[in-house]
Structure 1
């Protein structure tokens, strides 16, 4: 098959590699590259203060407790990041300047976390306690519900933000510089975030108290600043008519990618398996605290190690993506994701040194942002630029699909064992790792 035929977006051929996007405006590319990198650095500085694998579940444990409540976090996270982008893809495609989508959704992320911080301000919490003077349960129920609602709204905005960022990146940054952008954003962002966490978290988080309003308030402020930076991007206007659609048509838009593109179907299996690993992320910190007696202060060390892992894996993944393509990056990152639950189970049975060794497991959690970006960048390469929102929305659905089982996973951890659940997920991840050998490398067809 010729490369031209293989690059048709609606082809159902065995290797439907799409035409690489039109190269961006060279005059503005450098400016936009650094603005996008800086906005992502600022975003990561806020993200470390709300790490959903460590800080978020630990705070929820403090106000709620049961594993099934913690198990709601991944499903709220992934539903928020998958369904809203599905309904938003056509709107984004028709926007003349995509940067305003990126700016607006980042702004919404900042507002959500600012509201969440407001719920934890001591006078507000004291006032709520005063509404239920005879109860020790209802104040926690109120705060838990407010927490979960804000958490869901935040990730709905995050899902729109990720599709917007991918679309803006596809428009403004050429394909051979996207790995470099991932490297700069993740590495510089992780280093800056580690410095801020090491400085501020010991002031706000101890074994005896957690100033959650300051932690979440800082995160919200960073997201608001990132929104302001993204508004400075220089972008030419697209001319695309706005096409409305029913919910059924929008779902068809996303699922048609699976029927039209065989290579994407294979990638969808990888994304689905990777999504299974996300169900375990809130439980790593619970495993360490339940089985190893890790103190609350360890959260600081864990978020620093995790972001250090992101920086290290970005140093590997960024240059490899530009040099060899994103398929190799996906293969390597998926191997790291596969190892995480296996290593966790081994470490809780290794003897007196297991508590210290377990701390370093969070290095592998740092693989996750690189894996996410690798998936997005791979999709940007196999789809025409006009179809980026649709392909990215379909990818989000594939990652989110296993999350319907997340509350059951949280229940099973309490009812069965950590070992059984972690080993089952690891077996699924091994299947996803094998599938990375079946997807095409787009650059081999160009």
Structure 2
């Protein structure tokens, strides 16, 4: 036997064999059922707030009202993705050592509420005129960035809590329950409240964002009662350099995860276009702001519809096929939007329904998360999820440039270029493994230069 074969055998024997809890245990069944309900409730309430701050529709439209330029709008994706990616990278190991993960969800949800409360306060009549246009733009982007810093930490906390509390075979069901029920309730609220605050070209931003802040507070309260065993490990000294090195080592040494991150980066390019879809419709199809009510409702309906596909498909076939399917839906967006704005009256009538495919995005994020949760052991979840989020965010450094290119060239040039990148990412999904078909085949720490006991 050669040395490589011997090394492989040693690593296989060193891999932790996942153990399943005894499903016949009443305590286990009760705990999982309770946590499933509370995490579903958490996402439902969170979605009720999220629909009133949709970053692909309402947020860029509000920014256009106070700024107008495409390059300013182009800052939204980069601020959003940096906020969702860099803070989680710095927080990942601290979260891993946090005894009760639910308190991370509570704290980050309250931070999201504070950020949107600040945004709402800026638009109170009288306050907005006193602040001035330049300060409004800077303040808007600042609160937006703070919100997504909290959101990034929140998503990392939710993924880690889900990995700890919900068995793999129930995670697709959790996505389905929370997205479908959440979408129905959120759409009902939007259909009832948005016409009161959004009509013609008038938008009462303080009420819309204020409602979102209240919903985020409600989501924080919903997870206080999660049933969770305390983790006993303790965090060591904080070292940003070591955290960056660990993420680099993960990408260098785990070739399967490296491919996932390349696909995630291709997906990240699509996110740069989201603020520009509403601008494309308003500029090329000459629609007013009140049309956004339909876009918001259709987008969230799309999330529910694709959850009905993605949730059961994930539990049945695994998350690889869900990822491939959802990325194809994301790829339709830029090409479909360009086609419709050049389709005359047909495009005007049908463009609203394009936002169904914007609803694919949350399912795609969840598919990336759930795929990674199955690819590696529980103790590696925070680090891997944070690294993956950083890879999605990496293309966002070009986001202001994309907005500027749209101003200098056209929507068509930029949208078609990004569609090509998405197509390449979609093709790469055919080279992914399905972790569910390889039980116990997680990457062991022995395969990396990073010692799991090196405290950060």
Q: TM-score, normalised by structure 2?
A: 0.91
Pick from 334, 340, 343 the counterpart of residue 341 of structure 1.
Answer: 334
The residue that corresponds to 2:399 in the other structure is 406
Q: Does 1:360 align with 2:353?
A: yes
Any conservation in 2 of the 1:69–1:410 contact (CA below 8 Å)? yes
Any conservation in 1 of the 2:202–2:289 contact (CA below 8 Å)? no
The residue that corresponds to 2:195 in the other structure is 202
Q: Does 1:68 align with 2:71?
A: yes
CA apart distance, 1:27: 2.9
Secondary structure of the equivalent of 2:68? Answer: coil
Please list the CA deviations of residues 102-156 of structure 1 after superposition, one character each: whole Å capped at 9, or x if unmatched: 110011001110111011111322433xxxxxxxxxx111111111000000000
Any conservation in 2 of the 1:310–1:363 contact (CA below 8 Å)? yes
Matches within 5 A, 1:36-115: 36-115=39-118
The residue that corresponds to 1:167 in the other structure is 160
* Gap runs ≥5 in structure 1: 10-17, 129-138
The residue that corresponds to 2:37 in the other structure is 34
RMSD, aligned α-carbons: 1.6
Q: Does 1:303 align with 2:302?
A: no
The residue that corresponds to 2:375 in the other structure is 382
The residue that corresponds to 2:271 in the other structure is 278
Number of equivalent positions: 428
Any conservation in 2 of the 1:21–1:384 contact (CA below 8 Å)? no
Secondary structure of the equivalent of 2:202? Answer: coil
Matches within 5 A, 1:218-257: 218-257=211-250
CA apart distance, 1:20: 5.1
Q: Does 1:124 align with 2:127?
A: yes
* Gap runs ≥5 in structure 2: 23-27, 440-456
Any conservation in 2 of the 1:57–1:282 contact (CA below 8 Å)? yes
Give, in whole Å, the separation in 2 of the partners of 1:153 and 1:200: 26
Give, in whole Å, the separation in 2 of the partners of 1:53 and 1:3: 49
C-alpha change, 1:7 and 1:304, in structure 2 (3 Å) is: farther
Any conservation in 2 of the 1:19–1:384 contact (CA below 8 Å)? no
The runs of at least 4 aligned residues of structure 1 exceeding 6 Å deviation read 1-4
C-alpha change, 1:416 and 1:324, in structure 2 (3 Å) is: same
- Deviates most, 342-351 or 60-69: 342-351
Please list the CA deviations of residues 358-414 of structure 1 after superposition, one character each: whole Å capped at 9, or x if unmatched: 111000000000000000011110111111100100010010000000000000011
C-alpha change, 1:441 and 1:388, in structure 2 (3 Å) is: same
Give, in whole Å, the separation in 2 of the partners of 1:120 and 1:214: 9
Secondary structure of the equivalent of 1:435? Answer: helix
Give, in whole Å, the separation in 2 of the partners of 1:337 and 1:160: 24
CA apart distance, 1:208: 3.5
The residue that corresponds to 1:148 in the other structure is 141
Give, in whole Å, the separation in 2 of the partners of 1:3 and 1:443: 21
Give, in whole Å, the separation in 2 of the partners of 1:215 and 1:255: 41
C-alpha change, 1:442 and 1:214, in structure 2 (3 Å) is: same
The residue that corresponds to 1:14 in the other structure is none
Q: TM-score, normalised by structure 1?
A: 0.93
